[in-house]
Amino acid sequence: MRESLVYEFIPNGSLHDWLHPTSRLSLLQIIHILIDVASALDYIHNHCIPSIIHGDLKPSNILLDVEMVAHVGDFGLARILRTTSYNNNSTEIRGTIGYAASEYGLGNEMTSSGEVYSFRVLLLEMMTGKKPTDNIFSEGLSLHKFAFMALHEHVTNVIDVNILNISQEGGVFKQNMEANVEKMRNVCLQRSRVEYHAP
């Protein structure tokens, strides 16, 4: 008897398809998707025994069902989180450039903290409409620095204009946008015990 894997039908494709080349998501949809992804990461990091690291969190690995609920897929690079140290193979593939924590390129072990870094990149990409590998990010400018420079005074200048156009809440939306985005950015860009540098 042959064994098969049966997956849920995901008619709305990947998050990448909804973000690029032009975002088709409202702010409310973005928030719901981020909550779905964060819940999935919380489950595999904190509620699976043993814990699991996805290893390649990015928009093309997030799938949207008929109700736009986000599902984290493609666990091909996933690893079981070990409680003891071991010798790493420095040539092992770890994540995707732009989304993976910089220390992965040094051969360090994948961690849940590194995955939170990838989630931060995902959030910034969804809010700005820019990929971390876009051509404008060169000569020391990264997606993180691009967003950081706008903090406090010009946050709405880096928000993808399509989000503003799709999210038709008018003046109330625009009034609250800067404060809410600043709060989100502060939470997601706070440094953890391991200091991450933008790739």
Which residues are known catalytic residues? 56
Closest CA to 21 of 101, 130, 99, 159: 130
Q: CA 195, 48, 118 angle in degrees (round to 5)?
A: 30
Distance CA 88, CA 199 (A): 21
Closest CA to 98 of 64, 62, 56, 61: 56
